[in-house]
Structure 1
Amino acid sequence: MSRFKDDDKERYLTYSIVVRQADEEKGIKEQVVTKKMAKFIDGGPKEFLDWTYHFFQLAKLKEWGPEDKFHNTKILLEGDLLDAFNHYEASANDGDMRMGDDDFTKALYQASIVVEMLPLRVD
């Protein structure tokens, strides 16, 4: 059983999302929910599309800007896909430190081409 917990820690990150701010004057306590987000370690195009959907949902809930999306994507991707994402982020940057959502989406899309080229893993 503990092996599964260790695997879980390796494959997922848990994010806290504040759904209601605390207000001491009104006696309202902060309400927080957690969302477990899978790392993208391996998989095909369908799995990457599913992962991307969940990532964008998380980014919306967390109200992430482009810098937050870049940062968290680097935490959640691994292997060749992470290498490709880093490469395309660097080329999208072009010395401009401020990157927008379009730059993020473009870097993620360009890196995703690697997913189609990855060999299938057979256990």
Structure 2
Amino acid sequence: MARSAHKDDKERYLTYSITVRAADKDKDIEEEVVTKKMPKFIDGGPKDFLDWVYHFDQLASHKHWNAEDKFLNTTILLEGDLREAFADAAITDEDVRMDEEFTRALRKASIQAVPRTRAYGAYSGPTE
């Protein structure tokens, strides 16, 4: 049973490493790294999606991701209808790698794939 739970955990989460202190051999400082377990968004309602977006924004900030990194990692972390809707919304032309376009694509996908997101006026952009 524990083996099955571990496999399920691997399918539902990705673990990211975040360097919180860079190594400096001259000062005898070792690199300090923490990990963050980021859930995939597989299903859920508007609140679940907004919680996921909040944690994604935090991860993106800690990892210093640019818009292209956000597109790539969002595609990896979304599942099902939302992933398909995001892929469709993200493909407009070759210059879609701006933060505004990322936010627009994620919001458009959530309206199409997450139940009742439109009624809640969901995700309008990063909280920063």
Alpha-carbon offset, residue 68 of structure 1: 0.2
**Structure 2 equivalent of residue 110 of structure 1:** 108
Q: Secondary structure at the match of 1:57?
A: helix
Alpha-carbon offset, residue 42 of structure 1: 0.7
RMSD: 1.4
- TM-score normalised according to structure 1 size: 0.90
CA distance in 2, matches of 1:69, 1:2: 32
Percent identical among aligned pairs is 61
Letter paired with 2:106: L
**Structure 2 equivalent of residue 99 of structure 1:** 97
Q: Secondary structure at the match of 2:27?
A: coil
CA distance in 1, matches of 2:91, 2:11: 27
Alpha-carbon offset, residue 116 of structure 1: 1.6
CA distance in 2, matches of 1:19, 1:73: 23
**Structure 1 equivalent of residue 81 of structure 2:** 80
Letter paired with 2:114: V
**Structure 1 residues 20-49: Cα deviation after superposition (integer angstroms, max 9, x where no partner):** 000000000000000000000111111001
**Structure 1 residues 44-83: Cα deviation after superposition (integer angstroms, max 9, x where no partner):** 1110010000000000000000000000000000111000
- TM-score normalised according to structure 2 size: 0.86
User: After TM superposition, what 4+ stretches of structure 1 lie above 2 angstroms from structure 2?
Assistant: none
Structure 1 residue ranges without an equivalent (≥5): 118-123
Q: Secondary structure at the match of 1:29?
A: coil
> Does 1:38 find its partner at 2:60?
no
Structure 2 residue ranges without an equivalent (≥5): 117-128
Q: How does 1:46-61 map to 2 (within 5 A)?
A: 46-61=47-62
CA distance in 2, matches of 1:95, 1:10: 31
Alpha-carbon offset, residue 95 of structure 1: 3.3
